[in-house]
Amino acid sequence: MRKLNFIMLCVIAIMAVAQSCRGRSGSSSEQSDSLEVRALPDTLRVGTLYSPTSYFMFRDTEMGYDYDLVSRLAADKGMVLKLEIAPSLGAVIEMLDSGKIDLIAYEVPVTAQYRGHVLPCGVENITHQVLVQPKKSADEKITDVTQLVGKEVYVEENSKYHQRLMNLDNELGGGIVIKPIDRDTLIAEDLIAMVSDGEIPLTVVDSDIARINKTYYPDIDVSTEISFPQRAAWGVSPSKPWLADSINAWSAQEAPRRERASLLRRYYELSKNEPTLFTINFARGKMSPFDALFRRYARSIGWDWRLLASQGYAESRFDSTRVSWAGARGVMQIMPATARAQGLPADSITHNASNIATAVKVIASLDRSLSRYVSDREERKKFVIAAYNSGLAHVVDAIRLAGQLGVDSTKWDGCVAQTLLLKSNPEYYNNPVVRHGYFRGRQTTEYVKTVYLCYDKAKKQIPR
């Protein structure tokens, strides 16, 4: 009997040990599965949209607040960044739903509409719709929505701004003179420029768009809010909370916080307006302190040195110490990436001779690239000067768009200059012939005008 009891106890003990082993084995397997799920991918597939805040090309360099920040995230996590550009917010959310991307690096509104599709992550951004008005004295400035009664406000037709104004008008009992503008004709950025130029009195845009545009137009005021706050953030699939947790943890670290502060200053605070005005005293027979350098290097490309000097004027007002918001440096505002592409160390562009010599190499390269599109050498110079300012990609996009729209693609003034302006409108920058997306063409077209106005004056008063 004792022997039987002993055997039964042994069997029970063995079964308990076996069960324990199975339990630990199962737990280990579950833990392994969990670790496998939580491991970050080698490649981070990111979706975004072309916009002045998220992603765009400038001088053939990828830029944008969201792009720069997600690039830092991927670098810090040791992941390869693979970027996908969607034509709309709905399209990028579909990409997330289908598993084509892991992360939306774009400010997705935190609303019930997207709750089942997008799990917010990273730093939350709060925006409002704001009134864009000319900068005025405290007595003249509109500070409250009730002051809009009797005022004309121009907005994109059928936009969220249009809807908000109609709701506000109802709340106030009527009286706001709402002027809807066809989106095919003008968009929010155009309306902001028109407020700055005094062509219209008021418009409404989101506060982040307003802040960026204020860096171009310091004579506008964007401080009056007319809507409730709207939350927005990056997003991942709700099935990947572990990825959201990883991004949230990274965002809370000191280095990414400093990076965000730097990017906010770069994109939302640093002036993107033309350099401080510098008037050339043509009566002295000189254009700049660098005339000898312009003469020397202009010969290598067969340009009138006064045209090259005029470009230097438009770039920096001959300020050799100038550094732009984008990082361009010196008299000819050379980007560090441009210097590297020419086989030069980035710090070489701070030397005046190297700066102007590099600019001439870039001009020669642009001229070769554009010769296939514009055969007339003198006319092509306008295209080259535009491409120097914007990057070749945007000018080629504008040439293609001109061809599609039946505009003369070999002429700059009134032709390709106009189609370049269309590249800030989603209807056109999402066109299949446009391969490099959004671009603020107004600055480039004004740049070309500035160069030639200066050149025309120089030809009359400065000997060749």
> Does residue 415 register a pLDDT over 80?
yes
Yes or no: domain 129-228 corresponds to CATH 3.40.190.10: yes
Angle, to 10 degrees, between the axis of helix 352-370 and the axis of helix 291-298?
40
Q: Which pTM value belongs to this model?
A: 0.82
Residue 64 DSSP SS3: coil
Q: What is the pLDDT of residues 342-370, one digit of tens each?
A: 887 777 788 999 999 999 999 999 999 99
User: Which residues share a beta bridge with 133?
Assistant: 221
| Cα separation values, 159 from 6, 129, 174, 206, Å | 84, 12, 19, 11
CATH number attached to the domain at 282-461 = 1.10.530.10
User: Which residues share a beta bridge with 119?
Assistant: 236
Q: What is the mean pLDDT of the chain?
A: 89
Rounded Cα distance between 247 and 309, Å, is 48
Rounded Cα distance between 274 and 343, Å, is 29
| Fold agreement (43-124+232-268, 129-228) | yes
Rounded Cα distance between 73 and 202, Å, is 39
- The stretch 19-35 carries a mean pLDDT of 37
> Does residue 430 register a pLDDT over 50?
yes
Q: How confident is the model at residue 17 (pLDDT cuts 50, 70, 90)?
A: very low
| 8 Å CB contact between 311 and 289 | no
What pLDDT does 274 receive? 65
Parallel, antiparallel, or unpaired: how do β-strands 119-127 and 80-86 relate?
unpaired
What pLDDT does 30 receive? 36
Could you tell me which residues come within 8 angstroms of residue 401 by beta carbon, excluding any fewer than 6 positions away?
A: 419, 422, 423, 428, 431, 433, 434
Residue 203 DSSP SS3: strand
> Does residue 441 register a pLDDT over 50?
yes
What pLDDT does 364 receive? 97
As given in the structure block, the two tokens for residue 110 are 């935190």
- The stretch 135-143 carries a mean pLDDT of 92
What pLDDT does 463 receive? 86
Report the range of poorest mean pLDDT among 103-117, 255-269, 315-329, 335-349. Answer: 335-349
**Which string of DSSP letters, residue by residue, matches 330-353?**
TTTTB-HHHHHHTT--GGGGGSHH
What pLDDT does 278 receive? 55
**Dihedral over Cα of 286, 389, 428, 209: its sign:** negative
Count other Cβ atoms within 10 Å, centred on residue 256: 19
Q: What is the pLDDT of residues 382-394, one digit of tens each?
A: 999 999 999 999 9
Query: Domain 43-124+232-268 is classified in which CATH homologous superfamily?
Result: Periplasmic binding protein-like II (3.40.190.10)
What pLDDT does 22 receive? 39
What pLDDT does 38 receive? 66
> Does residue 371 register a pLDDT over 60?
yes
What pLDDT does 82 receive? 98
Parallel, antiparallel, or unpaired: how do β-strands 129-134 and 152-156 relate?
unpaired
Element at 132 (helix H, strand E): strand 129-134
> Does residue 313 register a pLDDT over 80?
yes
Report the share of the chain in percent with pLDDT over 70: 90
Nearest by Cα to 249 from 257, 260, 259: 257
Report the range of poorest mean pLDDT among 5-19, 225-239, 373-387, 408-422. Answer: 5-19
Domain extents for the chain?
Answer: 1-39, 43-124+232-268, 129-228, 282-461
Q: What is the pLDDT of residues 56-101, one digit of tens each?
A: 999 888 999 999 999 999 999 999 999 999 999 999 999 999 999 9
